[in-house]
Structure 1
Amino acid sequence: MAGRKPTVTDEEILSIFESHKDPFLSTAEVAEELDFSQQGTIKRLQALESEGHLRNKNAGGSLIWWLSSEQ
């Protein structure tokens, strides 16, 4: 991935989903947990989706994310 060196590992991002009580999280919720901008968070989540770790859906104008059963 081009750009700034990630300060949070993919495993740390995935652990947010694994430890959260809800089965899915919005981009804003993940961004808040990471203390990242929503734009930066979307890029990281999209990368994890392309690797098969996450799935997403547009719900009410917001992207929601959940762990893929393929991981």
Structure 2
Amino acid sequence: MAGRKPTVSDEEILAIFESHQDPFLSTAEVSEELDFSQQGTLKRLQSLEEDGRLQKKKAGGSLIWWLVTE
């Protein structure tokens, strides 16, 4: 991944989903938890999706994300 070195691990991002009551989170919600820009958060979430750890869907004008369960 180009750009700044991540200051939060993938596991920390996934832990946000695991600890949240809702089964899915918007990019904005994750961004607030991380204190990252929405653009930076989106890149990290997309990377986790490419790795098969998250799934996404467009709902209204927002992307929502959830953990892949096996």
TM over 0.5: yes
Q: Deviations over 1:6-38 (max 9, x none)?
A: 000000000000000000000000000000000
State the shift of 1:2 in Å.
1.2
Q: How far, CA to CA, are the matches of 1:18 and 1:37 in structure 2? A: 21
Q: How far, CA to CA, are the matches of 2:47 and 2:22 in structure 1? A: 22
- Alignment correspondent of 1:31: 31
Q: TM-score, normalised by structure 2?
A: 0.97
Q: CA RMSD in A?
A: 0.6
Secondary structure in 2 matching 1:23: coil
Query: Structure 1 residue runs of 4+, over 3 Å off?
Result: none
* Unaligned segments of structure 2, at least 5 residues: none
Q: How many residues align?
A: 70
Q: How far, CA to CA, are the matches of 2:26 and 2:9 in structure 1? A: 19
User: What fraction of aligned residue pairs are identical, expressed as a percent?
Assistant: 80
Q: How far, CA to CA, are the matches of 2:69 and 2:7 in structure 1? A: 26
Q: TM-score, normalised by structure 1?
A: 0.96
Q: How far, CA to CA, are the matches of 1:69 and 1:56 in structure 2? A: 13
